[in-house]
Amino acid sequence: MAKIVITGGTGLVGKRLTEMLVDKNHEVVILSRNPSSKNEFKWDLSTKELDEKALKNSDYIIHLAGAGIADERWSEERKKVIIDSRVQSANFLFDKIKELKIDLKGFISASGVGFYGAITSDKIFKETDKAGNDFLADVCIKWEQAAQQFSTKNIPVTILRTGIVLAEKGGALDKMKTPIISPLGSGKQYLPWIHIDDLCEQYISAVEGSLIGVFNAAAPEHHTSVSFSKALAKSIKRPFIGICVPAFMLKLLFGELAIILLEGSRISAKKVTDTNFKFKFPTLKKALEDFN
């Protein structure tokens, strides 16, 4: 049994991960700006406040905290919030770990497949491929650099570059369940995706020792906007219309943020499967069936 501190523990992934870790008899502590449960402890980046009891005797930190990428249009102010919420929080934790002399067994951080850039290409991106050069790539580069500083204290670091997380309630899938299902933009862009339980199992594998390093957290089956939309429509028994929602409409609605809807490439899952990790939901059909 390990003591695991989670930032962003009240979010979509954090809640499910907490349940699954507790089921495996791990102790979970959540850092929250508004603690309301006995396993939640106060932290506030704006005031540099952290209840140090949360970190005492901790074995792992799982860093999920970060302002939602798709929650608001990307003004310059919003872009700063997106980066700072990830980077400054990791820096704050690093300083506290040093100050309190916490002997962590591992620091495990979220990142995104946006690391490779918001582009549509024939390439299947592996962990060794270079970063993109747009805003999302910049977010992920800085996010990962903040996590990697823990390795300077001989703390093993694991980073999961995550695709679209599919869950029964909340997250991207809820927003996709429109009365009529249509692909977006060209329809040819890929949507790297992962079932929330498979993602959480990867975090658990990092805690239990078999995942150390940088890994793509995306299912091995690839889907374009068209094929994903067809599968979703069939699964929830809603009409599918093959006429794509025009790119200009999405750009009017979402501004620069629309790029995450309009571009996407395939992401390789080979590195994680080579560790003998087994996806419970390797196909979209199986993942969607789990939610019905």
Is 0.85 surpassed by the pTM of this model?
A: yes
Taking residues 250-262, report their average pLDDT. 91
Domain ranges for the chain: 3-290
Contact criterion met (CB below 8 Å) for 279 and 269: yes
The pLDDT assigned to 10 comes to 86
Q: For the CA atoms of 234, 240, 246, 247, what is the dihedral angle to 10 degrees?
A: 0
Crossing angle of helices 76-100 and 135-148, rounded to 10°: 10
The pLDDT assigned to 205 comes to 96
Amino acid at 120: T
Question: Is the pLDDT reported for residue 34 higher than 90?
Answer: no
- Alpha carbon distance 163, 200 (integer Å): 13
Question: Is the pLDDT reported for residue 138 higher than 90?
Answer: yes
Tokens (6 digits) for 67: 């302002």
Taking residues 43-55, report their average pLDDT. 90
Confidence at 45, pLDDT banded by 50, 70, 90: confident
Tokens (6 digits) for 256: 């620069």
The pLDDT assigned to 40 comes to 93
Q: How far is CA 10 from CA 13, 40, 47, 202, 265, in A?
A: 8, 10, 20, 19, 30
pLDDT digits (tens, 9 = 90+) for 3-14: 999 999 889 999
Contact criterion met (CB below 8 Å) for 15 and 9: yes
Question: For 3-290, CATH number?
Answer: 3.40.50.720
